[in-house]
A and B are shown apart, each in its own frame.
Chain A
Amino acid sequence: MSAERVPVRFYQVGSFAVGNRLVSADRRNAQSDPQRANSLTSGHRACAGCGEALGARYALDAATRVTNGQLVAVNATGCLEVFSTPYPETSWQLPWLHSLFANSPSVATGVAAGLRSLGKSEVRVVAQGGDGGTADIGMGALSGMFERNDDVLYICYDNEAYMNTGVQRSSATPGAARTATTDVVGEHPGNVFGTGKFVPAIAMAHEIPYVATASVADLFDLETKVERAMSMHGARYLHILVPCPLGWGSASSDTIRLSRLAEETGLFPVFEAENGELTGSRTIRHRVPVEEYLRLQRRFSHLFTREGEVKDVATVARIQAIADRNIRRYRLSEEVS
């Protein structure tokens, strides 16, 4: 974890608002500040319980705070773009540009290059997109931005499918998950198990200065990582897991809970890496079997009986194996780290 800001962990409570009251004012998170930027302000049209709206507000408010408001955001096409800017309304209180689906890393490169050429290097650039815009259609542009080490923080809000177009599979969709293009029919219902496309690992392979993952369940950690990222220059990548009640078939009130369960099962490893090397991991204190995470989501309901018992034992075991491998690979367990 970053040297600038020691992470605070409150395992006993579910609410970080409570947690904030336990720390000194200077260590409280940006969201608890009544003067917070509200970069993505209220009135937007996201679904109730949208993890992406939450993640974007947390991340951009933190980035705004650490850059003293000298920030420009570039947005890929997707839910975040659509729900935030139905013309002529906008929920963005920072300079914001949407161009296309596949090109936000390149547009951000242009913003950074333009600002530098105009002598405005103090203005920083964040690009953001969903998992489709990042892992699929924008992959080439993202890789190019990484490889050139352009001065851009790219944030991927990963809700594991194309939610904007009606929940179709992306290369970030987990195995067995039901989407509109991976129906629960046939011998292997839901999404196939591929080799996976975990963009943080791809980002690490580019050996860029900073790669981190975070979730909306761990606000303090997320903000710390944004601040850490903005303290550096060059290409940086932040991957935030953002549950989608619509696409996952989960209760709006379960968004934070699902984020935490994704972390505690090991299915979503939370870590940091610098220059291609793992530098820190969030160790799991209360390890949870994957079915506790899966059971809350209709996209995995075919794995369970009506009563909530595991029906497809083999598939759940397969998902558990993925979680176990993450725990080993990203040193998420205190025993192995």
Chain B
Amino acid sequence: MLQQIEGSRAVASAVALCRPNVVCAYPISPQTHIIEAIGAMVKAGELDAEFVNVDSEMAAMSVLIGASAVGARAYTATASQGLLYMMEAVYNVAGLGLPAVMTLANRALGAPINIWNDHSDAMSVRDAGWVQLFAETNQEAIDLHILAFSLAEELSVPVMVCVDGFILTHAIERVDVPEQTQVDRLLAPFEPRHVLDPHDPVSIGAMVGPDAFTEVRYLASIRLSRALDVLPPLAQRHSDELARSVPSLVSPYRLDDADVVVVAMGSVLGTIKDVIDEMRDDGHAIGALGVSCFRPFPKDQIRDALAGASRVVVVEKAFSLGYGGILATDIALVLSGRGIPIHTVIAGLGGRPVWAASLRTCFNEAVDATLSETTFLDLDEEVVAREVDRMAATRRSGPSAENVLRDLAERSRT
């Protein structure tokens, strides 16, 4: 049914349609509206689930582990510091091969503390053994959550749906919420691969030494990588049932004959597509490639999608300190040997608006072959330079965060 609702409520509705048995809640901005909405549904009797208000994110993921291990369908949502706080259990649930599903309302990592959107949190768990799906819109957020439960239970791996914090979670837009009968057709009851059952007792989580650890981890990687084979037909099945295109591994946009291809993940693709339409109208051969599935990384599909590109611009909302772009590095490895320029544009950190005009400038430079290898979009270079000078001039120059804010305040007064 078409509805004009907040992204968080849309996600909550999708999760409820998947009939979770256990939902854990520990509040963190900007995830709160999701768990509040699910909690209200449970309290009102609209959703028959155990809703556990836990004492930390570590507890949230741990409750999921216990619930999943007895064959219950389990869900939670978190963001940012919450993800880091549960990090040990994030790796653990993947290592145990339990199909939990989690929404990550993407948010920056501190310090400095910042509640706004970027992808640093998601990037911090790229090696944990989870499938990581990125939603471009709230419609995709709905569809990817239903897909996530299907995929997680099919492969017995945990799946994380990344939804841009505030930008999507707090945006009120038009979404089509599926009917229960449709979701029931897509999502069979959970049949666990291994389960704690007194009638057939097993030990789960035993210690593995050097003699077998390599093999066990190798098998875990194979299991995760199977998502690359399983996801496309599964997404097609969901697309057929829901009568719309449910994202799979990658989402190409106006790639035909595109010389310059912009690669990105999440909601920023919306703004990018608007810019690409403008530039196409102006006669530039530019297109975009959305990466919907970041882990496992769809190397072959990306290589194929970028086969015609002569220049690639990766726009990403995170970077590896002391190195550079994270998605861009993965893309560069996929394209190694092609010898085409790959540019990194770091944008939208900690909620910095990603303006279409700024993107347009970058993309124009890419077309003109003048774009730098790495660009921090709308970086205030004067402020940075002044702080670098302060640090050079004084040993006790104080915290940069405070200095930069004071600098900005002074400039706005003058």
Contacts and interface: CB of A to CB of B under 8 A. Distances in A.
A140 B58 CA distance: 10
Interface centre among A72, A88, A113 (most CB of B within 10 A): A113
A98 B204 contact: yes
A110 B67 contact: yes
A97 interface: yes
Central interface residue in A71, A88, A90, A144, by most chain B CB within 10 Å: A144
B204 A106 contact: no
A175 B197 CA distance: 43
Contact of B70 (A103, A111, A147): A111
B18 to A, nearest CB: 13
Contact of B206 (A98, A106, A108, A144): A98
A93 B52 CA distance: 30
Interface in B6-63: 21-22, 24, 48-50, 52-56, 58-63
Contacts of B64: 110
Interface stretch (B88-96, B307-315, B339-347, B377-385): B88-96
A114 B67 contact: yes
Interface string A95-128: 1111110110011111111111110100100000
Interface in A55-83: 69-72, 74-75, 81-82
Contacts of B92: 99-100
A112 B74 CA distance: 13
A81 B207 CA distance: 8
B56 A144 contact: yes
B20 to A, nearest CB: 9
Contacts of B50: 113-114, 116-117
Nearest to A95: B196
A250 to B, nearest CB: 27
Interface in B238-292: none
A329 to B, nearest CB: 28
B339 to A, nearest CB: 46
B62 A99 contact: yes
Contacts of B60: 106
B72 A113 contact: yes
Contacts of B49: 117
Contacts of A75: 205
A110 B74 contact: yes
A86 to B, nearest CB: 6
Given A100-B89, A114-B71, A95 B21 contact: no
Contact of B66 (A85, A93, A110): A110
Contact of B202 (A81, A95, A113, A143): A95
Interface residues of B, number: 44
A94 interface: yes
B99 to A, nearest CB: 13
B65 interface: yes
A65 to B, nearest CB: 13
Interface in B166-202: 196-198, 201-202
B86 to A, nearest CB: 9
B198 A69 contact: yes
Contacts of A141: 55-56, 58-59, 62
A99 B205 contact: yes
Contacts of B65: 97, 99, 103, 107, 110
A148 interface: yes
Contacts of A114: 21-22, 50, 66-72, 74
B336 interface: no
A11 interface: no
A87 B212 contact: yes
A99 B203 contact: no
Contacts of B55: 106, 140-141, 143-144, 147
Given A114-B67, A114-B69, A86 B209 contact: yes
Contacts of B71: 114, 118
Q: Could you say which of A69, A70, A102 has the most chain B C-beta atoms within 10 Å of its C-beta?
A: A102
B272 to A, nearest CB: 40
Interface in A130-144: 140-141, 143-144
A92 interface: yes
Nearest to B69: A97
A113 B66 contact: yes
Between B53, B56, B207, the greatest number of chain A beta carbons within 10 A of the residue's beta carbon is seen for B207
B149 to A, nearest CB: 15
B198 A72 contact: yes
Contacts of A148: 52-54
Nearest to B58: A103
A113 to B, nearest CB: 4
A107 B70 contact: no
B196 A106 contact: no
B67 A92 contact: no
A56 to B, nearest CB: 14
B67 A97 contact: no
A57 to B, nearest CB: 15
A78 to B, nearest CB: 11
Contacts of B207: 81-82, 85-87
Contacts of B68: 110, 114
B197 A95 contact: yes
A96 B56 CA distance: 24
A208 to B, nearest CB: 15
Contacts of A112: 66
A97 B89 contact: no
A282 B2 CA distance: 67
Given A96-B201, A97-B196, A114-B21, A144 B59 contact: yes
Contacts of A147: 55
B208 interface: yes
A106 B209 contact: no
B203 A92 contact: yes
A100 B197 contact: no
Given A69-B198, A72-B70, A95-B198, A109 B59 contact: yes
A147 B22 CA distance: 19
Contacts of A72: 70, 196, 198
A337 to B, nearest CB: 36
Nearest to A104: B62
B196 to A, nearest CB: 4
A257 B315 CA distance: 69
11 contacts: A90-B203, A95-B196, A96-B203, A99-B66, A103-B89, A109-B62, A110-B66, A111-B66, A113-B63, A123-B70, A147-B55
Given A90-B206, A92-B203, A117-B50, 13 more contacts: A85-B203, A97-B196, A97-B204, A98-B204, A99-B92, A102-B58, A102-B88, A103-B62, A106-B60, A112-B66, A113-B52, A113-B66, A117-B48
- Pairs A-B, 10 closest by C-beta atoms: A110-B66, A144-B55, A114-B72, A98-B205, A114-B67, A106-B62, A110-B63, A103-B62, A117-B21, A95-B196
